[in-house]
Chain A
């Protein structure tokens, strides 16, 4: 059962335009969400996060939007740059057994065309 889904395996965007990456989740117990970026043969690196009590968080070119009623979050990158080309994972956290668990999606490969 995939609790965190990224339905678009890949996305191509022109340099300077907006990239929008989407993520859906099924478990209403998730209360904290994160986005990670991954280059080939490297570990994922943290980009931005959002608590479920907020609907938007912004950090430079990156903005994450959360729609709790739809169980949907999105990552906006504006303007997109060739160096943004990577695989992006969303992650969701929920309590379990007195601690918290992080579940990741399947990833979206972003290609920014120069």
Chain B
């Protein structure tokens, strides 16, 4: 079974703090993703990475950065946390797609609930 592990389930941080959310997957997947889930807005892609040290901006990258130094680990960084970043953060991974009209399942971690006060 694929395992995507997010190191922190619940965090409370102060405005302006630097926040690290860590994610590790154990299936040798090339792709890794960070989404945030908010009521009424669904899952929105923040950043994704298709290889070590490679990253691509998603739909809402502002205020976030990422790091992928090893294949199995993908970190989300909030450089200066703000209250509008209070959310559930979901890490996911998948094998790389190799051709059109096919795809791979994305496997999600359990999520990290971040509250910024």
Give the interface of A toward B (CB within 8 A).
6, 9, 31-32, 34, 36, 41-46, 49, 51-53, 89, 91, 93, 95-107
Contact = CB atoms under 8 A, between A and B. Distances in A.
Contacts of B40: 9, 106
B107 interface: yes
Nearest to B42: A106
Given A46-B106, A49-B105, A99-B50, A104 B43 contact: yes
B45 A43 contact: no
A102 B90 contact: no
Interface of B: 4, 31, 33, 35, 40-45, 48, 50, 56, 58-59, 90, 92, 94, 96-97, 100-103, 105-111, 113
B100 A31 contact: yes
A42 B111 contact: yes
Please report whether the interface of chain A is mostly helix, strand, loop or mixed according to DSSP. Answer: strand
Nearest to A93: B103
Contacts of B31: 99-100
A103 B45 contact: yes
A99 B106 contact: no
Contacts of A91: 43, 106
B42 A43 contact: no
B101 A51 contact: yes
B111 A41 contact: yes
B97 A43 contact: no
